[in-house]
Amino acid sequence: MQLIRRNRNTTPDLGGLERLQRELSDFFDWTTSAYPTPFRTFGLLEGAWSPALDLYEDKDSLRVVVELPGLKKDEFEATVHGDTLVIQGERKSESEQKKENFYRVERIYGQFHRAVTLPTPVDASKVKASYKDGVLEVILPKKEETKPKQIPVTIQSE
Amino acid sequence: MEMDSGERFIVPPVNVRETADQIIVEAEMPGIDKNRLEIMLKEKDLFILGRRAKEEPSMGDPVWQEIPHYDFRRVFALGDHVNRSSIHASFDNGVLTLRIAKAEEAKPKKIEVAFA
């Protein structure tokens, strides 16, 4: 089962020790500060941008929702491979494009790849996707034969 | 807007950068409608809030959930080197961008060199 697959993409500018120090320091700031910052492991353990993903199911379809803030249309794609939905792309680092002074870089850049094993077969030709307010929503209609059907039961009396 | 209301918030990740005449803050708040953003100045503090819709449309039964469905909030302390009356906000694809003008005295001054 490959519900969560993460790729490797470390933050480029910090070595492991410096990163550990920063994370510890961030953690104490985080627990005591009136100005909390997001607490997350900056690539120390996983080293990846792994966008948050929800999967919902109703009787007709599956629905996958992925947070992908600030992407352009050509920076990501969603594909169905059999029973797997793959969402992948890349957010280009702005620091490479603009020579400006950064005080904080908490947004994560680079490649991402999520693969979701779909719990029921879907009709790949009818999949619809939309992107709004930084959220990708993919609707995958179930295949006809997997939808619940009411089976009339006749009781035969002997 | 109380600090200890017990309400849970997501702290959005931000980038903060500086140009010659502006401080630029970008905050990721995916899934927030533009009309439900609140940006407030209270003394030295700049609050940004992104409220989720009161009733999000039903998506079906959750099978797997990673997205925390709380409102977004973050607070910044503004220094004296910014012009508090000049903050410009835009929201694009789930990213809020604030452009805060620097105070005149904080902008770099070009010094004319007179060559003899």
The complex's ipTM? 0.83
Residues A40, A30 contacting (CB under 8 angstroms):
no
> Could you give the number of structural domains in chain A?
1
Task: Name the average pLDDT for chain B.
Answer: 88
Asked if residue A108 is part of any domain, the answer here is yes
Proportion of chain B above pLDDT 90, given as a percent: 57
Average pLDDT over residues B64-74: 92
Asked if residue A33 is part of any domain, the answer here is no
Phi-psi region of A137 (alpha: psi -120 to 50; beta: other; left: phi over 0): beta
Asked if residue A148 is part of any domain, the answer here is no
Tokens read off for A8? 């490797």
Proportion of chain A above pLDDT 90, given as a percent: 39
Task: Name the band, by pLDDT with cuts 50, 70 and 90, for residue B28.
Answer: very high
Q: Which of A133, A35, A39 is nearest to B74 (CA)?
A: A35
Each residue of A86-113: pLDDT tens digit? 999 998 876 555 666 888 888 888 889 9
Nearest to B15 among A54, A58, A107 (CB): A107
Cβ within 8 Å, pair A69-B3: no
Asked if residue A149 is part of any domain, the answer here is no
Task: Name the band, by pLDDT with cuts 50, 70 and 90, for residue B38.
Answer: very high
Asked if residue A46 is part of any domain, the answer here is no
Chain A: residues touching B (Cβ < 8 Å): 3, 34-40, 52-58, 61-63, 65, 67-72, 94, 98, 100-108, 116, 119, 131, 133-135
Domain ranges of chain B: 9-54+65-106
Q: Nearest C-alpha of chain A: how many angstroms from B114?
A: 29
Give contacts of A36 with chain B, Cβ < 8 Å. Answer: 11, 74-75
Q: Which CATH number fits domain B9-54+65-106: 3.40.50.2300, 1.10.600.10, 1.20.1440.120, 2.60.40.790?
A: 2.60.40.790
pLDDT of residue A101: 82
Asked if residue A32 is part of any domain, the answer here is no
Give the DSSP H/E element, type plus range, for residue A115: strand A110-117
pLDDT of residue B76: 93
Nearest to A67 among B3, B15, B30 (CB): B30
Give contacts of B21 with chain A, Cβ < 8 Å. Answer: none
pLDDT of residue A95: 55
pLDDT of residue A1: 44
pLDDT of residue A7: 45
Residues B76, B94 contacting (CB under 8 angstroms):
no
Domain of A74, CATH number, reads: 2.60.40.790
> Higher-confidence residue: A145 or B67?
B67
Q: Nearest C-alpha of chain B: how many angstroms from A156?
A: 37
Domain with A120, as residue range(s), is 51-143
Asked if residue A55 is part of any domain, the answer here is yes
List, for chain A, all residue ranges whose pLDDT scores fall below the cut of 50: 1-2, 4-11, 41-46
Asked if residue A100 is part of any domain, the answer here is yes
pLDDT of residue A97: 54
pLDDT of residue A18: 73
Partner A contacted by B20 (CB < 8 A): no
Tokens read off for B33? 């409608």
The dihedral formed by the CA atoms of A102, A107, A112 and A118, expressed in degrees to the nearest 10: -170
